[in-house]
């Protein structure tokens, strides 16, 4: 199972592949029937878990709180129950001083549930920072085709760390929205290569938005998570000042770049075509040690 | 949305002591999720509850479930389905998967 | 109401100390005699990478040079403009940085109070305003995820259906009042109220505990969120 590409696994399969064998104990599992009260009124089928499986597990023997979003269910979007489960899980992690690992696969707030999912995500972001204040590791794993968008893109970016595969994307506006707004000649949402280069794991890794980039297997994702458990990303004046400078320089250097290949070239990649096709490990090996 | 609910006779299931439920599938376009739970008080029949976004296929659903109940020992269970337009082949596959998840998690 | 008029209502003459560049407001001002730090968006502007940086820079400057000063966050933003370069640069990371700076300010003892004065929509609200200790909105504010017309265009659910549902489900209704029912804002202030008093009281009573779910349950706008959160917390400790 750990050999299958992570992005092809379903949420519960990802949990099974990443957690130690038989270690996952689901909290409020499907028989509890905590389902959306909005979707039935819109003629849309509900899901027993409202698109989020949460629970205890161990990874490499370390207890973690683990959640996986179900991308196929309304695009992995976050409604009232879904967000409440997420908030409860992250708050449990803060309370128990146990690392929190989120397997993200979401387009963001569930439109069908309006502002309830929006407020829920805002609460979840507060809970993530409560974990960080307590020195509890928070990790967002982004390795699916749906990626982490909108409010979930923001939440993922607020965690201590992000583990990404080249398949994962982090963004705020989705490709179709950008195309509609800017026109197809500026942004063609059907150009997968471009979409993934703009928002995908490799570019995020080069820019320092993803601390860990791993190959496609669930085993590699698990190893990536293992390398981060117990660690924290500092949130002090020095760290924030450094980040401010880095983000300002990023705008300065690449704000007028016409293509992400310019970012890759600036990072020291001499053969962009090959690097585009490289596995994550080979890609990382071609990068010089200094960040752009 | 259409709701279909019916019981079918079926040979009693050997429900594994360590499990409380099993799930297969996902609610998405052309797909369905199937939850199977024990109902020890009715060992000779399986109760099925289906909520589907595609109305008008009750006969097809009942035929599929009857086939399943006849060929597999699922007496003493409640099977609950959330469907978003799965075809019969997929329905049968998910039912079998749910059973398989029960015995080989 | 113009930006100047709005600022005057909260800050009186001290509003002149607030700088507005590209519709991003930063500065210090006085609320009924109490010095505060001010950050915000005006005129329904879009919020992008540079805007997030500008706001973050001022928050950090405030923590360095004005210990303990309450930070007033004003929100009048239409959200993020869908933009290829913004996404390439990693807009999500910029928003997270702004939130991290606000978190640092909170931990350093600065109270965070938000007033949604105009548009307070989705990502623009989440990336700073909704992070406050206490969140308020003027009754004229456009608060929410999106109007039903836009929701209909994306979900393909007819406008009439959504409109009918929104009369029974405040989560689908766009506006400050329904958002308050869900616990998203503590209170809605009429623009005719004594806003200096309202804001002063808001700052005084602000607490860093996030009680939005409990409020949503109490007011009937979100009937499940609080209970589900509590159940998860209870089950996880078993």
pLDDT of residue C155: 86
A43/B53 touch (CB, cutoff 8 Å), yes or no? yes
pLDDT of residue B103: 87
pLDDT of residue A51: 98
3-state secondary structure at position C102? helix
Give residue limits of the domains in chain B. Answer: 2-103
**Chain A residue with Cα closest to C160:** A42
The CA–CA distances, whole Å, from B82 to A45, A112, B27, C237 equal 6, 18, 7, 30
Q: Which residues of A touch C82 (CB under 8 A)?
A: 173, 177-178, 180-182
Query: Phi, psi at residue A121, to the nearest 5°?
Result: -65, -40
Task: Output b/e per residue, B41-67; b: 16+ Cβ within 10 A.
Answer: ebeebbbbebbbbeeebeeebeebbbe
3-state secondary structure at position B8? strand
Asked, for residue A80, whether it belongs to a domain, the answer is yes
Share the mean pLDDT of chain A.
96
Rounded to 5°, the CA angle A106-A107-A111 comes to 120
Over residues C22-81, the pLDDT tens digits come to 999 999 999 999 999 999 999 999 999 999 999 999 999 999 999 999 999 999 999 999
Contact A119, C130 (CB under 8 A): yes
What is the mean pLDDT of the segment spanning A48-75?
Answer: 98
Judge whether residue A34 has pLDDT over 90.
Answer: yes
User: Which domain covers residue A37, as residue numbers?
Assistant: 6-170+210-232
Q: Answer whether A106 touches B (CB < 8 Å).
A: no
User: What distance in Å separates the CA atoms of residue C1 and residue A165, rounded to the nearest whole number?
Assistant: 48
Per-residue pLDDT 10s for chain B (105 aa) are: 999 999 999 999 999 999 999 999 999 999 999 999 999 999 999 999 999 999 999 999 999 999 999 999 999 999 999 999 999 999 999 999 999 999 886
Asked, for residue A185, whether it belongs to a domain, the answer is no
- The residues in C 161-190 lying below 8 A from A, measured between CB atoms, are 161, 165-166, 169, 171-173, 178-179, 182-184
Question: Are 3 or more Cβ–Cβ pairs between A and C shorter than 8 Å?
Answer: yes
pLDDT of residue A290: 58
What is the mean pLDDT of the segment spanning A256-274?
Answer: 95
Separation in Å, CA of A115 to nearest CA in chain B:
23
**Which chains neighbour A (Cβ–Cβ under 8 Å, 3 or more pairs)?**
B, C
3-state helix, strand, coil in chain A (%, to 5): 45, 15, 40
Note the maximum CA span of chain C.
Answer: 57
Separation in Å, CA of A75 to nearest CA in chain C:
12
Judge whether residue A230 has pLDDT over 70.
Answer: yes
pLDDT of residue B25: 97
A180/C131 touch (CB, cutoff 8 Å), yes or no? no
| pLDDT beneath 50, residues of chain C | none
CATH number at residue A222: 3.90.226.10
Asked, for residue A134, whether it belongs to a domain, the answer is yes
What is the mean pLDDT of the segment spanning A19-41?
Answer: 97
pLDDT of residue C199: 98
Judge whether residue A2 has pLDDT over 70.
Answer: no
Asked, for residue A17, whether it belongs to a domain, the answer is yes
User: What distance in Å separates the CA atoms of residue C71 and residue A45, rounded to the nearest whole number?
Assistant: 44
pLDDT of residue C184: 98
Asked, for residue A49, whether it belongs to a domain, the answer is yes
Domains of chain C by range and CATH? 3-209 (3.90.226.10)
Q: Answer whether A37 touches C (CB < 8 Å).
A: yes
Structural domains counted in chain A: 1
Q: What percent of chain A has pLDDT over 90?
A: 96
**Chain C residue with Cα closest to A125:** C131
Over residues A243-264, the pLDDT tens digits come to 999 999 999 999 999 999 999 9
């Amino acid at each position: 199972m750990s050999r299958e590409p992570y992005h092809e696994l379903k949420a519960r399969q990802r949990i099974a592949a990443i957690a130690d064998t038989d270690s996952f104990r689901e909290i409020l599992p499907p028989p509890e029937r905590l389902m959306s009260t909005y979707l039935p009124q819109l003629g849309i089928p509900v899901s027993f878990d409202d698109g989020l499986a949460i629970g205890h597990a161990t990874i490499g023997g370390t207890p973690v709180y683990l959640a996986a979003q179900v991308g196929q269910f309304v695009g992995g979007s976050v409604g009232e129950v879904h967000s409440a489960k997420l908030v409860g899980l992250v708050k449990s992690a803060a309370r128990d001083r146990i690392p929190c690992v989120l397997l993200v696969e979401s387009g963001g707030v569930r439109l069908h549930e309006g502002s309830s999912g929006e407020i829920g995500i805002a609460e979840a972001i507060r809970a993530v920072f409560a974990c960080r204040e307590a020195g509890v590791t928070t990790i967002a794993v982004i390795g699916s085709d749906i990626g982490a968008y909108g409010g979930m893109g923001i939440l993922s970016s607020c965690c201590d760390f992000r583990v990404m595969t080249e398949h994962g994307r982090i963004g705020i506006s989705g490709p179709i929205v950008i195309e509609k707004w800017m026109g197809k000649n500026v942004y063609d949402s059907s150009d997968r290569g471009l979409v993934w280069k703009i928002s995908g794991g490799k570019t995020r890794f080069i820019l320092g938005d993803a601390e860990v980039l791993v190959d496609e297997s669930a085993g590699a994702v698990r190893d990536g998570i293992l390398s981060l458990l117990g660690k924290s990303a500092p949130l002090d004046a020095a760290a924030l000042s450094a980040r401010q400078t880095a983000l300002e320089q990023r705008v300065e250097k690449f704000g007028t770049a016409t293509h992400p290949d310019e970012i890759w070239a600036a990072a020291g990649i001499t053969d962009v075509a090959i690097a585009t096709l490289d596995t994550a490990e080979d890609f990382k090996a071609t990068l010089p040690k200094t960040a752009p | 949305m259409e709701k279909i609910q019916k019981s079918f006779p079926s040979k009693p299931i050997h429900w594994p002591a360590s499990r409380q439920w099993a799930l297969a599938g996902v609610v998405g376009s052309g797909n369905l999720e199937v939850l199977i739970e024990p109902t020890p008080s009715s060992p000779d029949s399986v109760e099925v509850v289906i909520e589907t976004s595609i109305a008008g296929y009750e006969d097809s659903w009942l035929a599929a479930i009857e086939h399943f109940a006849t060929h597999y020992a699922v007496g003493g269970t409640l099977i609950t389905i959330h469907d978003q337009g799965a075809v019969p082949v997929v329905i049968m596959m998910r039912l079998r998967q749910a059973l398989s998840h029960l015995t080989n998690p | 109401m113009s930006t100047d008029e709005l600022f005057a209502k909260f800050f009186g003459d001290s509003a002149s100390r607030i700088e507005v560049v590209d519709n991003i407001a930063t500065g210090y001002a006085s609320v009924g005699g109490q010095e505060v730090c001010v950050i915000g968006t005006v005129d329904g502007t879009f919020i992008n990478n540079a805007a997030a940086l500008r706001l973050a820079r001022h928050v950090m400057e405030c923590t360095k040079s004005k210990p303990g000063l309450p930070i007033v966050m004003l929100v009048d933003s239409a959200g993020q403009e869908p933009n290829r370069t913004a996404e390439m640069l990693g807009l999500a990371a910029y928003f997270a940085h702004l939130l991290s700076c606000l978190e640092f300010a909170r931990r350093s003892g600065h109270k965070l109070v938000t007033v949604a004065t105009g548009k307070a929509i989705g990502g623009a609200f989440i990336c700073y305003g909704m992070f406050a200790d206490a969140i308020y909105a003027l009754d004229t504010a456009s608060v929410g995820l999106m109007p039903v017309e836009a929701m209909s265009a994306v979900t393909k659910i007819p406008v009439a259906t959504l409109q009918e549902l929104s009369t029974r489900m405040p989560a689908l209704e766009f506006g400050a009042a329904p958002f308050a029912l869900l616990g998203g804002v503590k209170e809605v202030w009429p623009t005719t109220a004594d806003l200096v008093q309202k804001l002063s009281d808001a700052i005084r009573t602000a607490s860093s505990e996030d009680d939005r779910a409990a409020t949503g349950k109490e007011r009937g706008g979100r009937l499940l969120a609080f209970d589900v959160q509590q159940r998860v917390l209870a089950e996880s400790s078993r």
